[in-house]
Copies of this chain bind each other. A is one copy, B any other.
């Protein structure tokens, strides 16, 4: 199998993008970040990509709505296809993608979420976990479907919640696992692939 060509959508500092770029540079990721797209001109993710010589583009929705307008979403898809992207990673992308992207990349859009889904979907997952008083939280890499944070789960990592945790301290502990889990999962997709059976995902055997 050829390495996966990744398109990464990010709105913020892009630390998960950074983990992918570092793993690629270190030779521990069987994938290439081919394109980074952002909805925000000030996203550090864009600079991070350009620093590594990776194509990076702002596609500004010019709207504050979380859900992308169809014509904007179509521009994202055009850019991804122009760069021969075959998997899309939402790495801290603050917009909700819809059927245009999900149809173009059916079962090939990943999201990473800072909780053990199905617990604590949506915004401020770490704050939700603290308020609920769980002793174990974590992160989840899943396929994106129309419902937010609800697609089939590819991988999870558990993270302990400490008595004195704040949202910041818990978020930081989870983020370390997010970086590892995202890199490992993309690498596993590229090397092994999986079969979907309803919501359950079964990984193929490692090729001999």
Contacts and interface: CB of A to CB of B under 8 A. Distances in A.
Interface centre among A130, A135, A152 (most CB of B within 10 A): A135
Nearest to A158: B158
Nearest to A201: B133
Contact of A203 (B116, B155, B163, B203): B163
A156 interface: yes
A119 interface: yes
Contacts of A203: 163
A118 B119 contact: yes
Interface of A: 116-119, 130-136, 138, 152-158, 163, 198-203
**Complex copy number for this chain:** 2
Interface centre among A134, A152, A198 (most CB of B within 10 A): A134
Interface centre among A130, A133, A152 (most CB of B within 10 A): A133
A37 B201 CA distance: 42
Contact of A135 (B136, B156, B163): B156
Contacts of A157: 136
Nearest to A202: B163
A132 B202 CA distance: 13
